[in-house]
Amino acid sequence: MTPITLGLEEREALLGRFLRYVRVDTQSDEDATCFPSTEKQKDLARLLVVELIALGCTDAAMDEWGYVIATVPSNLPPDHPGVPTIGLIAHLDTYHATPGGGVKHQVIRHYGGGDVPLPGSGDAIPVSQNPNLSRCHGHTLITSDGRTLLGADDKAGIAEILTVVGWLKVHPEMLHGRIRIGFTPDEEVGRGTEHFDVAAFGADYAYTLDGSDLGEIEDETFCADSAVVTIKGHDVHPGYAKGKMVNAVRVAAALVEAIPQDRLPETTEGREPYLHPYAFNGEVGQAELKFLVRAFTEEELTEREEVLREAVSQVRARFPEARLEVQIKESYRNMSYKIAEDPKVLEYALEAVSRQGIQPIQRPIRGGTDGSRLSFMGLLTPNIFAGSQSYHSTHEWASLEWMAEAVAVTLQLLGVWVERS
């Protein structure tokens, strides 16, 4: 198949969808116990159901949990032997720890290079920290005004999937098998697949559109656990505290400092694992520290957890009257363990990138996707680039041209599955 080029109207439709979606506040809540963790995620879900139905997905619906599921029927001729059902998945929610409501976007046409000013904050997206900006001269860039997330993670993926559905509707000459669409809540808080019914979804293989750089196909994620350290101190009036007070806040500070500097996310890259103290809540009498534990192998994950336990032991020795308890909970595991069992799901994606005339990049994710858990639930789900950068930051930005290429690669992928089947 020759490269697919989205026309001007198609690119503008992609941009319009994306801007419409980022204006809907869908931040999830890490501390909530309900599902989805925020009802406002369903606002976007309901909007997407309406749009999918308008594009011909007559079965599009949101279930009680906030999942949006829809079908694009196969258009293969009756005598065709058929192809596996392919799922296309993206997540509704945005990151919970950076402001994400009231997004005011800016669209920069014909980007000419240099740092990107953010008018709402007086800040700028620096090229020095975003070298991919140098690859996007002449592109249409989208950012927030600098006071919030943009929400490209993962509304870029959602907009791209809707654009794939729309493109197939007006290009019936392209043969494809049955396609299942899935939009999930609560991915950012690690619960995106908690109520996802793989059997009911009915896909044989799937792909998330939740990646970043042009041409990236990701078949590896971190193995991930979370850790909570609870610290119990003793609070008394500070005027009479000598020999009595055990300050849990000071103990927590000592624990953060006890983590070796070369074990932190800000000092690691590539395949290096890390420990990340990311949330604190407490006072003198009791405090709680939350950690992310990340590594590409289970052996390295265990080693990082031992580093945390050793740091806790050191702090216990320094503050013998404080009580420290460590609880570790499994989050997800590296999906490469499962994808290796049936590698064509990866190989076809890499071929689709090549057919689009882009150099494919097979790279591990220093993070996770819904595909991590789905792969262990029986639905192999690598990750396709979505064309946006600096996730979880007010410096988040997206290239419309890279987003259009993500649409084209996904269409190529559907074609590869037809040909190879």
What does the pLDDT average to over 159-163?
98
The pLDDT of residue 81 is above 90 = no
What does the pLDDT average to over 139-168?
98
C-beta neighbour count of 39 within 10 angstroms: 11
List the domain boundaries for the chain.
Answer: 8-221+334-420, 223-332
- Asked about 79 being catalytic, the answer comes back as no
What does the pLDDT average to over 357-382?
95
- Asked about 93 being catalytic, the answer comes back as yes
Q: What is the pLDDT of residue 196?
A: 98
Residue 1: band (very low, low, confident or very high) from pLDDT cuts 50, 70, 90: low
- Name the average pLDDT for the chain: 97
The pLDDT of residue 222 is above 90 = yes
Q: What is the pLDDT of residue 135?
A: 97
The pLDDT of residue 368 is above 70 = yes
Percent of the chain whose predicted confidence (pLDDT) is above 90: 97
- What class, spelled out in words, does domain 8-221+334-420 have in CATH? alpha beta
Angle at 11 between CA 394 and CA 13, to 5 degrees: 85
Q: Which of 153, 160, 187, 210 is catalytic?
A: 187
Q: Which of 51, 93, 145, 351 is catalytic?
A: 93
How would CATH label the architecture of 223-332? 2-Layer Sandwich (3.30)
CA 17, 18, 20, 25 torsion-angle sign: positive
What does the pLDDT average to over 317-331?
97
Residues 6 or more apart whose CB falls under 8 angstroms from that of 128 comprise none
What does the pLDDT average to over 236-247?
96
Q: What is the pLDDT of residue 189?
A: 94
Q: What is the pLDDT of residue 404?
A: 98
Q: What is the pLDDT of residue 82?
A: 83
pLDDT digits (tens, 9 = 90+) for 50-78: 999 999 999 999 999 999 999 999 999 98
3-state SS, the chain, equals CCCCCCCHHHHHHHHHHHHHHHCCCCECCCCCCCCCCCCCHHHHHHHHHHHHHHCCCCCCEECCCCCEEEEECCCCCCCCCCCCCEEEEEECCECCCCCCCCCCEEEECCCCCCCEEECCCCEEECHHHCHHHHHCCCCCEEEECCCCCCCHHHHHHHHHHHHHHHHHHHCCCCCCCCEEEEEECCCCCCCCCCCCCHHHHCCCEEEEEEECCCCEEECCCCEEEEEEEEEECECCCHHHCCCCCECHHHHHHHHHHHCCHHHCHHHCCCCCCEEEEEEEEECCCEEEEEEEEEECCHHHHHHHHHHHHHHHHHHHHHCCCCEEEEEEEEEECCCHHHHCCCCHHHHHHHHHHHHCCCCCEECCCCCCCHHHHHHHCCCCCCEEECCEECCCCCCCEEEHHHHHHHHHHHHHHHHHHHHHC
